[in-house]
C-alpha cells in the first residue's frame, strides 16, 4: 500500500468554482440527437419525441449548459432549415460527418429539451460557410422579445417568449483545415469581431466565445490564439480550448498520467491570457471555455466517422472503461485547480457519440465516465482550494515520473463542508491519503464514494451494466481532526466532510 499526504487551507484558494465547468455538448452527429435525445418512434419518448429515460439519466449530472448544434456540424449548418413545420423542413447533406440531416430537431426543439432537462442553451453560430448576417438573425430569433421579423416568426412557431440565450460560440475549431470555411487566424478574427459587435448590438447582455486552438498539437497552437485574442479582446469574454485524450499506444501507466498534459494546456492558456491582457494594457479579464473534452480514440477513423450519407448513422460510439473514467476525473480535478482560468467546460458529448450514456430501442447503458462527472458535479461547491501533495511517484512511460496522487478540493463556506477528490494513478497499490486542514479540523464525514480497482480495461456492458460504478468508500476522521481515505488502485475517491465548529 502507498501512502500520501494532502494539505489544505480554506483561506488558500483560487476562487469560486463556476458551475458551468460541468456542462455538456450535443451535436448533430451520428445518433446523438436522433435515437439519442429525440426519438419520436420510441415508446420511451414523450409526446414531443424526447427520450424520457435519457432525460432522467442526464439530470443527475447537473449540467448548467449544453452547447449546440456543433461542433464541425455547425460550420455548414443553416439554422433556418430547422424551424417551422417539420414536413416543410429540407433534408440536407452534412459535410462534416457525411450524413443526411433531416432537420426534424432544430432550435425550438432544442430549447424545449433544455427546459425539460433543467439546463440552459449555449449556442454556436456558423462562421465557416455563413457569417455575421446569419448569426445576428439567429440571435434575433432566440433573444429579441417581439416586433421584428425573426422574433415574430418565433412567436408564430409557438414560442412567444424569448429564449434569452446568454452564451454564444463564434464558430467552431476555425483553426482546423478540416473545418468547412477554415481561414487564417487574421481572417477568422475579423469575422468573429464583426459578428460579436453586431450580436451585442442586438443584445448587449450576451457573452461570446472566440475559437482557440483545436488541440495543443496544432502547428499554430498558441500563435493562433494570441492573434485572435489580440484582435477580438474587447468583444469577447472567453476563448475556447479543445482536447481529446487517447491511449493509442496501449500504455496504461502513461495514459493514467494524462492529467499532467491537461494541466500544461491550462497553464498555457493562463499565461497567454495574462500576456495579451498586459499587451493590451487592459483591466478586462478574458477566461477559458474548455468546451470540448473527453477520451476519444477507438471510434475515430474510417467508418467510425463516415456516415455514408445515411440518417442517424452509428458514429463515434466509444465504449469506455475504468482507465477512461480515471482520465475523465483528472480533467475535472484540473478544471477545479484552475478555477480562476476555466469558467466553462463541456464534456463532448452526452448521448451515444463519445458519451457517458448509450441508447438502444429498449433502454440505455450508463458508461464508466458518467460516474466521476456526476460525483464532481454533485459535490464541487464554493471555493477551489489549493492542494499541497506529498507522496510517491511512479514511472509513467515517456512522461517520466508522475505523482501517484492527483487531487482537488472545494470549500463551501455557507454549509461549512469540504469536498475532496482523490485520484490514485497506480495500477498496483492501493493508496491511503492523510488529509490535513491547516486552519481547522474536520468533523463528521457526510459522504464517501470510491470507484475503481482491478482491471483498467473493465467496462460496463448491457449484460453487466454496473461493473464500473461507485461504491461506499472508507474515510475516517482521526484524533487530530484530519482525515484518512483509502483509494483503490487505480481509482477515485470522493469525500465530503463537515468542518468542526
Question: Which are the catalytic amino acids?
Answer: 173, 292
For residue 94, what are the CA distances in angstroms to 41, 100, 320, 423?
23, 6, 27, 40
Instruction: Report CA 434 to chain centroid distance, whole Å.
Output: 30
Closest CA to 330 of 408, 426, 433, 252: 408
Cα-Cα-Cα-Cα dihedral sign, residues 211, 217, 219, 222: positive
CA dihedral 164, 112, 52, 363 (to 10 degrees): -90
Positive or negative, the CA dihedral 52, 54, 57, 62 is: negative
CA distance 114 to 140: 19
Distance CA 271, CA 280 (A): 14
Dist. CA 290–CA 212, nearest whole Å: 10
Q: What is the DSSP string of 345-383?
A: EEEE-SSSSS-SEEEETTEEEE-TTHHHHHHHHHH--SE
- Find out whether 155 and 141 touch, Cβ atoms under 8 Å: no
Amino acid at each position: 500500500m502507498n501512502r500520501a499526504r494532502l494539505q489544505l487551507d480554506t483561506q488558500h484558494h483560487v476562487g469560486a468554482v463556476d458551475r458551468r465547468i460541468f456542462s455538456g455538448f450535443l451535436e448533430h452527429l451520428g445518433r446523438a440527437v436522433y435515437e439519442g435525445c429525440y426519438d419520436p418512434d420510441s415508446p420511451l419518448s414523450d409526446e414531443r419525441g424526447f427520450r424520457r429515460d435519457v432525460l432522467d439519466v442526464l439530470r443527475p449530472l447537473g449540467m448548467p449548459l449544453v452547447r449546440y448544434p456543433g461542433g464541425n456540424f455547425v460550420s455548414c449548418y443553416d439554422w433556418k432549415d430547422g424551424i417551422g413545420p417539420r414536413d416543410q423542413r429540407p433534408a440536407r447533406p452534412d459535410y462534416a460527418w457525411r450524413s443526411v440531416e433531416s432537420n426534424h430537431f432544430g432550435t425550438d426543439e432544442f430549447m424545449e429539451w433544455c427546459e425539460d432537462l433543467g439546463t440552459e442553451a449555449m449556442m454556436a453560430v456558423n462562421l465557416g460557410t455563413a457569417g455575421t448576417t446569419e448569426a445576428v438573425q439567429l440571435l434575433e430569433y432566440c433573444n429579441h422579445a417581439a416586433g421584428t421579423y425573426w422574433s415574430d416568426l418565433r412567436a408564430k412557431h409557438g414560442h412567444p417568449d424569448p429564449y434569452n440565450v446568454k452564451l454564444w460560440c463564434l464558430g467552431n475549431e476555425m483553426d482546423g483545415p478540416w473545418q468547412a470555411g477554415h481561414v487564417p487566424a487574421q481572417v477568422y478574427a475579423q469575422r468573429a469581431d464583426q459578428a460579436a459587435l453586431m450580436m451585442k448590438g442586438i443584445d448587449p447582455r450576451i457573452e461570446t466565445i472566440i475559437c482557440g486552438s483545436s488541440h495543443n498539437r496544432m502547428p499554430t497552437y498558441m500563435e493562433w490564439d494570441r492573434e485572435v485574442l489580440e484582435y477580438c479582446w474587447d468583444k469577447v469574454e472567453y476563448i475556447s480550448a479543445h482536447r481529446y485524450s487517447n491511449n493509442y499506444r496501449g500504455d496504461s501507466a502513461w495514459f493514467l498520467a494524462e492529467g499532467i498534459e491537461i494541466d500544461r494546456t491550462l497553464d498555457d492558456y493562463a499565461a497567454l491570457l495574462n500576456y495579451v491582457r498586459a499587451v493590451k494594457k487592459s483591466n478586462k479579464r478574458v477566461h477559458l471555455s474548455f468546451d470540448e473534452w473527453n477520451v476519444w480514440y477507438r471510434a475515430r477513423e474510417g467508418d467510425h466517422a463516415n456516415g455514408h450519407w445515411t440518417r442517424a448513422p452509428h458514429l463515434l460510439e466509444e465504449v469506455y472503461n475504468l482507465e477512461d473514467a480515471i482520465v475523465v476525473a483528472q480533467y475535472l480535478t484540473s478544471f477545479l485547480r484552475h478555477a480562476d482560468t476555466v469558467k466553462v467546460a463541456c464534456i463532448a458529448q452526452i448521448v451515444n457519440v463519445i458519451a457517458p450514456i448509450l441508447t438502444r430501442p429498449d433502454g440505455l447503458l450508463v458508461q464508466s465516465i458518467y460516474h466521476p462527472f456526476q460525483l464532481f458535479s454533485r459535490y464541487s461547491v464554493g471555493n477551489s482550494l489549493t492542494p499541497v501533495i506529498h507522496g510517491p511517484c511512479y514511472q509513467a512511460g515517456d512522461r517520466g515520473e508522475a505523482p501517484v496522487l492527483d487531487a482537488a478540493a472545494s470549500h463551501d463556506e455557507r454549509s461549512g463542508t469540504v469536498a475532496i477528490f482523490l485520484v490514485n494513478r497506480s495500477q498496483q497499490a492501493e493508496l491511503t491519503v492523510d488529509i490535513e486542514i491547516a486552519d481547522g479540523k474536520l468533523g463528521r464525514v457526510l459522504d464517501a464514494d470510491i470507484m475503481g480497482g482491478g482491471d483498467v480495461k473493465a467496462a460496463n456492458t448491457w449484460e453487466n451494466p454496473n461493473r464500473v460504478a461507485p461504491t461506499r468508500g472508507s474515510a475516517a476522521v482521526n484524533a487530530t481532526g484530519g482525515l484518512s481515505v483509502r483509494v483503490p488502485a487505480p481509482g477515485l475517491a470522493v469525500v465530503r466532510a463537515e468542518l468542526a465548529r
